Amino acid sequence: MADDVRALSAQLAQDPQSLVFLRLAEALRRKGQLDAALRVALNGLERHPHLADAHDLYARVLTDKHDYERAFDEWDMALRIAPNHTGALKGLAFLYFKVGDLQQAETHLELAQRVEPDDPSITQAIEMVRGGASPPSPHPVLAAEPSEAAAAAPALDESRVFAGLEGAQEGLVLLDAAGRVLGGALRSPAGADVTDAVAAYLAGVSQEAARSAKLLGLGAWSGLSAEGKHGNVHVSQPSKDALLLVVRDRGVPLGRLAILAQRATGMAKRWLDKQ
């Protein structure tokens, strides 16, 4: 298996855009090298944010690291991209079982069974849930081994606040109160980097929004959505001194944009907490 990891690492190094990261991260995960698997999965996800398998893989690693909340988000995202993704359905069933929601666990397993009726592991899991026993982890991990491949995995850049999130390098930006960029980047539809210009104009929006909401007796503001002629934006406040801007083309309606923004806000909050 160590040879597999070396060979896959070499392949990925030769062609970073290839999907070989899926096999490499899975191989690392199965060896119990979870930090290395996480780095490979995250880097792959950055390059392939619309790939359901990449979200599924990332969720598996997160589950192994007992980060169930983020794993849930990733499997949820995988299903939004590919509603019949059995890996995500099984993964969510496992998480639902863990929180005691047997009905949801069974429902997700039944959906998976409809897609893959001949998969005996799904049938077995359904029987276990109905019997009140925990279904097996959808993706078991082998015993941990020394991390000889960790160095081969690309390093995770901590400044990538939104690593793995759709549009992280073109439609998301996190600012401090003075309009300085903390993470993410914005590109105009023509491809120009507009991060700093937009950041400068947005500095101060938070205070004005707060004053408007106060004067109108609306309480604390939670979000500002705007529809433009060629795109939509959503501004939120992940912390008192930070602003998050999400920009998408008009094909992404304001409601969906708000969901994306909520997800990005959660990631930004976690990142800010770490700082």
Chain residues that interact with another protein, rule: CB under 8 A: 186, 188-190, 192, 194, 197-198, 201-202, 204-205, 208-209, 211-213, 215-233, 245, 247, 249
- Decide whether 117 or 251 has the Cβ nearer to another protein: 251
Which one, 2 or 226, has the nearer CB to another protein? Answer: 226
The residue among 241 and 249 lying less far from another protein, judged by its C-beta, is: 249
Distance, in Å, from the CA atom of 203 to the CA atom of 141, rounded to the nearest integer, reads: 47
Q: How far is the CB of 131 from another protein (least distance, A)?
A: 43
Question: Both tokens of residue 25?
Answer: 């991260």
Residue number with CB closer to another protein (133 or 197): 197
The rounded distance, in Å, linking the Cα atoms of 185 and 174 is 8
Instruction: List the one residue out of 137, 141, 139, 152 whose CA is nearest residue 2.
Output: 152
Taking the chain, what is the end-to-end CA distance rounded to the nearest angstrom? 37
Q: Cβ distance 162 to 184 under 8 Å?
A: yes
Shortest spacing between CB 256 and another protein, in angstroms: 14
Please identify, using beta-carbon distances, which residue of 156 and 198 lies nearer to another protein.
198
User: In the bound complex, what is the minimum distance in angstroms from residue 272's beta carbon to another protein?
Assistant: 21
Pairing of strands 181-186, 242-249: unpaired
DSSP code per residue over 7-53: HHHHHHHH-TTSTHHHHHHHHHHHTT-HHHHHHHHHHHHHH-TT-HH
Kindly state the greatest CA–CA separation across the chain: 66
Minimal distance, residue 150 CB to another protein, in Å:
39
| The pair of three-digit structure tokens given for residue 233, joined into one six-digit string | 């934006």
Q: How far is the CB of 28 from another protein (least distance, A)?
A: 39
Query: Smallest gap, in angstroms, from Cβ of residue 153 to another protein?
Result: 34
Q: State which residue, 13 or 192, has the beta carbon closest to another protein.
A: 192
Minimum CB–partner distance for residue 211 and another protein (Å): 6
Nearer to another protein, 119 or 196 (CB): 196
- Sign of the CA dihedral with 37 first, then 39, 42, and 47 last: negative
Task: Take residue 165 and report the two structure tokens written for it.
Answer: 């999130």
Instruction: In angstroms, give the least distance from the CB of 238 to another protein.
Output: 15
d(CA 40, CA 20): 10
Of 99 and 226, which has the nearer Cβ to another protein? 226
- Amino acid code (one letter) for 147: S
